[in-house]
Amino acid sequence: MPQDAAIATNLAAIRDRIAEACRRANRQPEEVTLVAVSKTHPQDAVVAALAAGQMVFGENRVQEATAKFPPLRAAHPGLRLHIIGGLQTNKARDAVRVADVIESIDRPKLAAAIAEAMVKENRRPDCLVQVNTGDEAQKAGVPRAEADAFIRAAREEYGLPVTGLMCIPPVEDDPRPHFAYLRELAARHGLPVLSMGMSADFEAAIAEGATLVRVGTAIFGSRPAA
């Protein structure tokens, strides 16, 4: 099957699964936004997804996003780009320049750099605080014990437009308790956006209240070899 047709078919299948997961959870499909994770896939794959009606995309690396997306915005003014990967402070200004949502705010130094970049760029993309729900040493995200204080600081001290939370549960764990924890944490802070769930577990995330699901492999196929 040609790439364009495969991506369109995959998107339709994912949308059907989202709708069914919402039905089971007594939610409306419109409550859940699909973020198509296009990291490492070529611009042609994004164009194919756009042709199939997908308008929201996620990229891990700012440099790749900057090369891939600005040329597409003129033809697709409704396109929205999420930066979902770990972010170095020296990439903060580029992230603010290119992204509509930055999902990986996870430490004071980065929060300060993003706040400064927003002033310089006169642009305020929405921000999500990434929480390390499994307290995994090798993974980005705010530890559970620090999450409440950091969310408050990101909003009050750094003045970031924090709209919600993001997490990536440990691969070996049942993701549902992690998603439930993130939902409760967001509710405590009055945050409406929950970015949780990927190709393998987005239906469970929807059952626990996800408003954004990040799906890459199930749409674009396996990542190209480096």
Q: Which domains does the chain have, with CATH numbers?
A: 3-220 (3.20.20.10)
Confidence of residue 102 (pLDDT cuts 50, 70, 90): very high
Instruction: Name the token pair of 99.
Output: 């992204």
Q: What's the average model confidence in pLDDT over 146-168?
A: 98
Confidence of residue 224 (pLDDT cuts 50, 70, 90): low
Angstrom distances, CA of residue 42 to CA of 15, 68, 155, 220: 22, 8, 35, 10
pLDDT in tens, 27-38: 999 999 999 999
Instruction: Name the token pair of 165.
Output: 């939370």
Looking at residue 225, its pLDDT comes to 53
Looking at residue 222, its pLDDT comes to 80
Angstrom distances, CA of residue 102 to CA of 11, 120, 137, 163, 174: 23, 17, 22, 10, 26
| Mean pLDDT over the full length of the chain | 96
d(CA 119, CA 36): 29
Instruction: Name the token pair of 14.
Output: 């994912």
pLDDT at residue 226 above 60?
no
Instruction: Name the token pair of 174.
Output: 């049942």
Strands (DSSP E) along the chain, which ranges? 33-37, 56-59, 80-83, 101-105, 126-132, 142-143, 162-166, 193-195, 212-215
The count of C-alpha atoms lying within 13 angstroms of the C-alpha of 43, restricted to the half-sphere facing its C-beta, is: 10
Instruction: Render the burial of 59-75: b for 16+ CB within 10 Å, e for the rest.
Output: bbbbebbbebbeeeeee
